[in-house]
Each structure stands twice: as C-alpha cells, then as structure tokens.
Structure 1
C-alpha cells in the first residue's frame, strides 16, 4: 500500500477504478493481520485470511494488467479523481480522466497492476508456504 499511495500522492499517478479495487483487499489484509496479534486464539486462521485477501488483490491486479495489455476487455472504461472540497463544474471539468486500459507507468514492461499481481500472488504464496511449514513443527 505504501507503493500505491506513494505513487498517487508523491508521484502524481492517479488511480483508475480497477486500481482502487486492488487496494480494498490489501486494506482488509492489513486489518486482519493486525487482528492476528490481538486475538491470539484466532491467529492462524486470521493469517490465512490475510494471505487470501492479498491473493485476491493479486488476482484483481492480474485481471487489470490483462486489460492494460489488451488481452481482454475490462469491466469499466475510465474514472476520475477529484480532490476534496466543493464539487463545482470547474472541479469536474478539470479533474484528470484516468483510463483503466492504459498503464500510466511501467518498469521492465510491467505495469503497476502487473507488479501488484506478481508481488501479491507471490507474497500470498510465501505466506501459505510458511504457514504450512510452521504447522508441521
């Protein structure tokens, strides 16, 4: 989430609607993971749930990356990001239009959605492997 929020607020890369979809499971995973420290008896199921939520975000990221690369059509066309304050005609007309099918940034030919898919699915897999190994001990 630090990367996503940093790219938005420090880098000026406004999220599209599908980018926002990828954030919600991460927010939930953070809360669930923190809950695993508080509710000790439910620690193991909560960590598994956090891993599942991270994987869900990765799956949404994979879908979004496919839309950006033109492999399939998305569920939405575009979104806009408006700052706080009063909504006026000027604020609506001057809000940036963010398309879900155009990657605003990429590294090594992989978009932010693609990186989210790789890191989230990989991270969820690592958590699952570690949880499985700790269960055997």
Structure 2
C-alpha cells in the first residue's frame, strides 16, 4: 500500500487546519509589519510571500477535503504539495537571510536604497524616486533573526507539519477507509 493511499484521520485534518492558520498568520504578519509597522519590503521579502499565497488556498482545500472525508490520496497529496511549497519558502528565507548576513550576493534588483520624503516637495516626483530597500540590509532583527530568518523558521515548522501528516501512519481511530 502506498503511503499516500493509507487511511486518513484526525492527524491529517488537524495538520490541514494548522497549516491554513499558520500560513495565513505568517503572511498576515508580514503584511501588518508592512502596512501598520511601516517596514518597506525589499524584492526578496516580496518574493518570500509567494509560497504563502500559493499555500493558503491549497491548505483550505486540504482542510475541506479532510473534513469532508475525501479520498486519502487526495488529502495526503495536498499535504505533500503543501510540504513542498513550504520547503520552497524555507529555501527563499534561508537565501534571503544569507544575503543579509553577507554569505552570498543577492539578485541585481536588490541593490536599491530607500529614499525620498513623501511629505515634502513634489509628491509625484518623490513617489517615483522611492526605491525598495536593499536586500542585504535587514529591516529589523528580533531575538537575533531578521524577518527572513523568522520566515525560514516558520517555513521549516510548517513544512514539517505538512510532510509528517502526509506520510504519517493511519490514526488508530481513522474512519476514512477507501
């Protein structure tokens, strides 16, 4: 029997719900730091959000499929896809953190510097002059990690949850025999 065709149960349902909540909270936090906290994201910061935008609808479908007792291969397959998407996110977070720590260079489009005073002078000219911050400068560090570092931690946790649930043995109380 293929690991993806084993019966599903509470473990897969809980994981799908945790992944839906976790991915939504992670990208939601990034958006709050940007729009409420005033942290302007660099090009790599914006790129790190893409896996979350992909993962949220997949997690929603996985949660609905698990709750609706869909075929185990569908539920486990969606969890596997979520795990792979979060591994992609982990790669992006580690790459960006490495750029910030100077371990390797970032892409050419990351060399911009924030500038411009939006409140003075010609507003339209100033808006055109504002550039995203450089990717090699962490906007802030919390407990020693930048936003990119925390994204790597969150991505690793979410990938672990997804992959563990995708390949976990059936629950003792599994009711989904297909």
Q: With the length of structure 1 as denominator, give the TM-score of the two structures.
A: 0.83
Q: Distance in 2 between matches of 1:103 and 1:91?
A: 23
Q: Deviations over 1:85-133 (max 9, x none)?
A: xx9433212x253110000011121111011111201221132123322
Q: Distance in 2 between matches of 1:35 and 1:60?
A: 24
How far the C-alpha of 1:7 sits from its partner, in A, is 0.7
1:73 aligns with 2:105: yes
Aligned equivalents of 1:126, 1:36: Cα separation in 2 = 13
Larger relative contact order, structure 1 or 2 (CA cutoff 8 Å, min sep 6): 2
Structure 2 length as normaliser, TM-score?
0.65
* 8 A contact 1:17–1:78 mirrored in 2: no
Partner of 1:98: helix, strand, or coil? Answer: coil
Unaligned runs of 5+ in 2: 1-26, 115-122, 173-178
| Distance in 2, Cα, partners of 1:52 & 1:109 | 27
Aligned pair in 2 of structure 1 residues 97, 33: CA closer, same or farther (>3 Å)?
closer
RMSD over aligned Cα atoms: 2.3
Aligned length: 131
Larger Rg: 2
Pair 1:126 & 2:161 matched = yes
Matched, 1:109 2:148: no
Gaps of 5+ in 1: 82-86
* 8 Å contact from structure 1 (residues 17, 79) kept in 2: no
Following TM superposition, by how much is the alpha carbon of 1:135 offset from its aligned partner in structure 2, in angstroms?
A: 4.3
